[in-house]
Structure 1
């Protein structure tokens, strides 16, 4: 298996750029299209656990005002073979000092890149090496 084929990394980088634009624009239809529409897809959000394309789409439609505006601080892409990649990024929401994290697993299905798993979280105020986060 080849890691980080430059062509695949560029394809996923383009997808990730389009995803960020759709997120910023609250373009729900485009966001829905990025996700695999089946029971296999999972999205863990800051405040919700969503299983299946229908739950993810319903969440986006119910979300008041869309995702809070954010700046991407760092993005790391790893491709594995020609049909799988992971996008890991750190972000900061406007008006917040907390660092957010997002991971997405992308797979190529029928020639299209789709997100099959996603996780969004906000970091604790201190490292668990100092003290466990209990709340």
Structure 2
């Protein structure tokens, strides 16, 4: 169970998280010293509900879009490419405003930025190279996205 939890996945149920916490409270004696089987950090990381990133790590990862936008805005794009920072920077936005970095709604985004955001969700759902989840079939992906 601990080995499976250490891989990460789409969803870790409350029962498994509670079992991990119980294991983490167990002590072992090494010579004259007693210590926990799992450290607090190990328990925290094994209890991640989705994927493999903690909340703190997720915040750091999400910051990559802010840095991407800043770097792209510093480049001297020709006129026909001047909106590249907007398009690239919007690929993690979601139509319902729950994305990042700006939490934009569909109406706040240009058509190309929306296309990038939709393509990113499609790719995330169908990607076969994610260690924490299997690729979803096209029929299910389209159902989720509709």
TM-score, structure 2 length as denominator? 0.24
The alignment's TM-score, normalised by the length of structure 1, stands at 0.26
From the CA coordinates, give the structure whose radius of gyration is larger.
Answer: 2
In proportion to residue count, which structure has more strand? 1
- Structure with bigger helix share is 2
